[in-house]
Amino acid sequence: MRKFTPESAVDVIELQQLVADWCHELDTNGGLDVAKLFTEDCIVDFGRVSYTGRAATTKFYQDRAERVRTQQKDGIRTQRHGITNIRIVFEGKDRAHVTFLIINFSGEGGPPLMNATTPTIVTDTRFECRHDTDGVWRIKAFYGTPIFIGNDPFLNQGMVGPKT
């Protein structure tokens, strides 16, 4: 079992909170303000989605919000990201890899969504994090590999399949 110093234990808590804040932003605000959790030069690569930079992160979620507005019942999409199996490995004082499993439930319309029986998607996820210039942990790279994919046409259209 790994041992933590008081300083590294604080870093573990901050990194776990970073993951929780990322999920909360996606679930409550559709990711519209999630870019602040990423470094300016971040890399994102999950499913068919791949881009670089904080500005591209903002654009991705703005485009997604427009798709929700125009393609989903009442212009609303409900989602919740559950996270489990968090593992944090430090690479020096200012870098860490955070791996975890995302179990996502989502669908069109407002809550409660009826007849939801399986997750929309289950994804192996890795964040490469670093202390940014202001000393705050941020996501430098986000890699996701879908493991199980449900039958949600909206999600499948935007995130699953070959890269475009």
Q: How far apart are CA 51 and CA 30, in angstroms?
A: 18
Percent of the chain scored above 70 by pLDDT?
97
Q: How far apart are CA 109 and CA 105, in angstroms?
A: 13
Q: In what order do the strands lie in the sheet with 121-131?
A: 49-52, 38-46, 137-149, 121-131, 95-108, 77-90
The answer to whether residue 20 sits within a structural domain is yes
The answer to whether residue 87 scores a pLDDT higher than 90 is: yes
The answer to whether residue 164 sits within a structural domain is no
The answer to whether residue 105 sits within a structural domain is yes
Q: Which two tokens stand for residue 36?
A: 């602040």
Domains identified in the chain, total number: 1
Percent of the chain scored above 90 by pLDDT?
84
Q: Which two tokens stand for residue 10?
A: 């604080």
Rg (CA), the chain: 16
CB atoms under 10 Å from CB of 153, counted, come to 9
Q: Are 139 and 25 in contact (CB under 8 A)?
A: no
pLDDT tens, 1-30? Answer: 788 899 999 999 999 999 999 999 999 999
Q: Are 162 and 48 in contact (CB under 8 A)?
A: yes
Enclosing domain of residue 86: 6-135+142-151
| pTM of the predicted model as reported, rounded to 2 decimal places | 0.94
